Amino acid sequence: MYEIKRKALLANNIKLFEIFAPEIARKAQAGQFVIVRQHEKAERIPLTIADFDRNQGTITIIFQEVGRSTIDLGQLKKGDYILDFVGPLGKESEISKYGRVVCIGGGVGVAPLYPIAKRLHGEGNYIVSVIGARSRGDLIWEEKMRAVSDALYITTDDGSYGEKGFVTDILKRIIGSEEIDAVIAIGPLVMMEAVSEITRPHGIKTVVSLNPIMLDGTGMCGACRVQIGQETKFACVDGPEFDGHLVDWDNAKRRAKMFLQEEKIALEVLRYNCSEGGAHACQKNK
């Protein structure tokens, strides 16, 4: 059992937990992830580590409530316990002295981007960060990103904050005016794909972090397989970071929809349970 030491609402439907897991915190590195199983009947879901505190023994996870499992998870409060918390899994980020690095985060993807940007910054790289969200109320961790960046750009789709437009608009502008040595992009698949397509003709090293459907997270099932160039890789053990120019994005986008139908059913069950017809089973905070 793993205690939630702190809970915060960062933006619309985006929540933060600090989980007490000192053994994992001791080993965690930027770029790695944990598997969370909330309760006996829950799924095992992968969440990228957003931060860790070796002294406090905590791992920070940030998640957007988009499906049944994340909505259920979001109902937990400070002091509650998560049944299973496994990690640190996957490979750590490849941190080196690139020079000028553009760190791009979209939506909740800013969370796993942060520890990588922090490490890269610490290694003496010049960090240009570009973070974006649909709207002002969806943006997270602006200040934390600012603290590890030499320059920070913000975009919102609706223009309610920062520049109106997409993170890729800014990236194009930066590429047009500065020499860039590497790009790290974490966010929705379409965003990471768009970033990779922009950097490809310029031959700029582009690293993306994939978060496909997983089950065990230790290389045992292959649910998370991704097509990287000519090879099939398991994101859980070979990743989660890959060369954005080698990812088969169409395949990745399709595989993300593998259980779309079932995900809808699981959500509907939750809605029914929370409606008046099934209010007895509702866990929602009243």
Partner 1 sequence: MSKKQVVGKKYAMPVLDPHERIKYFREVATGYTEELALLEAARCLQCKKPLCVEGCPVGVDIPAFIKLILARDYQGAANKIKEKNSLPAVCGRVCPQENQCEKFCVMGKKNEPVAIGRLERFVADWEFEHGEFKPEAKAPNGKKVAIVGSGPSGLTCAAELARMGYRVKIFEALHMAGGVLVYGIPEFRLPKAVVAREIENIKKLGVEIEVNSVIGKLYTIDELISDGFDAVYVATGAGLPYFMNIPGENLNGVYSANEFLTRVNLMKAYKFPEYITPIHTGRRIAVIGGGNVAMDAARTALRLGVEKSYIIYRRSEKEMPARAEEIEHAREEGVEFVLLSSPVEIKGDEDGRVKAIVCQKYELGEPDSSGRRRPVPLENSEYEIPVDTVVMAIGQGPNPLIPATTPELKTNKNGNIIADANTGKTSKPQIFAGGDVVSGAATVILAMGAGKKAAQGINQYLFGGTE
- The residue from 15, 68, 119, 121 that contacts partner 1 (CB under 8 A) is 68
- The residue from 41, 77, 280, 286 that contacts partner 1 (CB under 8 A) is 41
Quick one: 169 or 216, whose CB is closer to partner 1? 216
86 binds partner 1 (CB under 8 A): yes
Amino acid making up residue 49: I
Token reading at 244: 């954005």
CB of 32 to partner 1, least distance (A): 8
Quick one: 159 or 278, whose CB is closer to partner 1? 278
- The residue from 8, 66, 83, 279 that contacts partner 1 (CB under 8 A) is 83
CB of 200 to partner 1, least distance (A): 22
d(CA 159, CA 252): 29
d(CA 111, CA 60): 9
Separation in Å, CA 129 to CA 43, 65, 167: 33, 25, 10
Separation in Å, CA 228 to CA 30, 92, 131, 138, 195: 22, 18, 26, 31, 16
Distance, CA of 122 to chain centre:
21
Instruction: Choose among 48, 61, 191: nearest CA to 116.
Output: 48
Encode burial over 7-20: b for 16+ CB neighbours within 10 A, e otherwise.
eeebbebbbbbbbb
53 binds partner 1 (CB under 8 A): no
76 binds partner 1 (CB under 8 A): no
219 binds partner 1 (CB under 8 A): yes
- Segment 177-206, which members bind partner 1 (CB under 8 A)? none
CB of 35 to partner 1, least distance (A): 8
User: Considering CB under 8 A, how many residues would be counted as binding partner 1?
Assistant: 44
156, 139 contact by CB (below 8 A): yes
76, 82 contact by CB (below 8 A): yes
104 binds partner 1 (CB under 8 A): no
x/- map, 245-264, partner 1, by CB under 8 A: ---x-xx--xx-xxx-xxx-
Which residues in this chain contact partner 1 in the complex, by CB under 8 A? 23-24, 27, 37, 41-44, 68-69, 72, 83-89, 215-216, 218-223, 225, 227, 232, 237, 248, 250-251, 254-255, 257-259, 261-263, 265-266, 269
